[in-house]
Amino acid sequence: MTSSTTSSTSNEALAPVAAQARVFAWRDHASLWFSLGVGLLVMQMGAYLLPALSPREALAAIVLGSLTGAGLLAWVAKLGCDSGLASAGLMHGVYGRRFARLPIVLNIVQLLGWGSFELVVMRDATLALGRQSGAMAAAYWPWLATLLWGGVIVLLMSGSMVTLVRRIVSRVALPLVVLSLLWLSWQFLAMAGAQGFSTFMDRQGDGSMGMLSAMDLVIAMPISWLPLVADYARHGRSGKSALTGTWTGFAVANIWCYALGVLVALTLPSEDLVTALLLAQGGLIALSLVLIDEVDNAYGDAYSAALSAHSLQPAWSIRRWGLLVAVLCTVLALVLPMHSLEPFLLILSSCFVPLFGVMLGRLAFGADVQERVRNAPAVRWGAVSIWIAGIAFYHLVPLVSTAAGSALPTLIVTFAAALATRGLRAGNAGAVQAS
């Protein structure tokens, strides 16, 4: 599962990846994060920007939000690559050996949830595709479709993550998904042109969402990947290539998919995005390719959950944890109403905005990350306090004003507080440690 040369009983999540095992180049980072940035859920989020904003405002929010969010994602990728550490290792360095277990467990819970949700999205899209062609009407098909996609994830988890990224994502999945996005974009642009493109672009929004709130909605997608990005970037050859590759790949994918969602909402307004995509000429084939690309999203959730679980219980290898996580995601997708649980997953995800605001403040600008991990106390109370205050701030901001959103203000406040207090020292268990 990993190319690290450490033994199966060592803690691979908390040890830097060996230099000879760092094989990801710029193309690998860009391909991976473009592929992970593409998804049906991303397009649906783009459709949510209308009719609150005008199309011009929506596109401006998409570009600015994507560049900002992908930049934050790329920054964490660089930290992971420079240190060779996974997200769990970075959390140990910032929050302390024992306390880091809490955010790691929360991350595992949210990854199980999002992995199950991805399987539900793939199941629903599969059923829509099948029923469009006159099949899959029987009651047992939802179960079969879930088991099918769950089985694919289990199969992928039994192999090598590095091989998957370099040989399958970069060389096979990426060209196919680019072709499908090009085709869908061409079809919906043609529809918009036939109906009067300038008329669409001159529409006014109803004002129910401001620009900053819209940017918050766009930033939500790259921020949701913050707990995962270091798990892959640690295999990179250089921090610069991890930074620029991740930033470029995810920003382009996020802008493209959000903008396509806006375009679909303008030309074929529908509560069901999949149905709208199927109405485009060749939509069945293009949507099938996008659906296949969803597999790497579910795999990404499962792999990172396995790596985080391995950091807590290294006696189990990452591959063994990965197989268990994939099976659990499949079972949860079968028995839980995942669409109803989406608000809970979003609330849980809100914990990671201030978490990474603090981590960036503590680790940015030349901090010795590996030294912080080696000498981490049980708890770094300064970082913990800022994180807890940041969670409260995230949920209090909308009560004061909904115009600014929550993610950006919380990131800025927690980053500034963590950076400003980085040089302070606090006692821990009778010893003086860096806070």
State residue 308's pLDDT score: 97
State residue 34's pLDDT score: 96
In whole angstroms, give the CA distance from residue 264 to residue 280: 10
Is residue 431's pLDDT more than 80? Answer: no
Give the mean pLDDT of 76-80.
95
Instruction: Give the pLDDT confidence of 343-400 residue by residue, as tens digits.
Output: 776 677 789 999 999 999 999 887 777 788 788 899 999 999 999 999 999 999 988 8
State residue 345's pLDDT score: 67
Instruction: Give the pLDDT confidence of 171-193 residue by residue, as tens digits.
Output: 888 888 899 999 999 989 988 88
In whole angstroms, give the CA distance from residue 356 to residue 72: 9
Reported pTM: 0.90
State residue 1's pLDDT score: 38
Taking 3-state DSSP, the helix, strand and coil percentages for the chain, each rounded to the nearest 5, stand at: 75, 0, 25
State residue 26's pLDDT score: 96
In whole angstroms, give the CA distance from residue 274 to residue 255: 19
Instruction: Give the pLDDT confidence of 227-242 residue by residue, as tens digits.
Output: 999 999 999 999 999 9
Q: Phi and psi dihedrals of 273, rounded to 5?
A: -60, -40
Structural domains in the chain?
A: 19-338 (1.10.4160.10)
Give yes or no for a contact between 176 and 290, defined as CB atoms under 8 angstroms apart: no
Instruction: Give the pLDDT confidence of 267-288 residue by residue, as tens digits.
Output: 887 777 888 888 877 778 888 8
CA dihedral 240, 243, 248, 250 (to 10 degrees): 160
**What's 380's DSSP letter?**
-
State residue 3's pLDDT score: 39
Per the prediction, the chain carries an average pLDDT of 88
pLDDT category of residue 133 using cuts at 50, 70 and 90: confident
β-sheet bridge partners, residue 433: 426
Give the mean pLDDT of 138-146.
91
In whole angstroms, give the CA distance from residue 122 to residue 347: 23
Q: What's the Cα-to-Cα distance from 216 to each of 221, 292, 303, 366, rounded to whole Å?
A: 9, 28, 27, 29
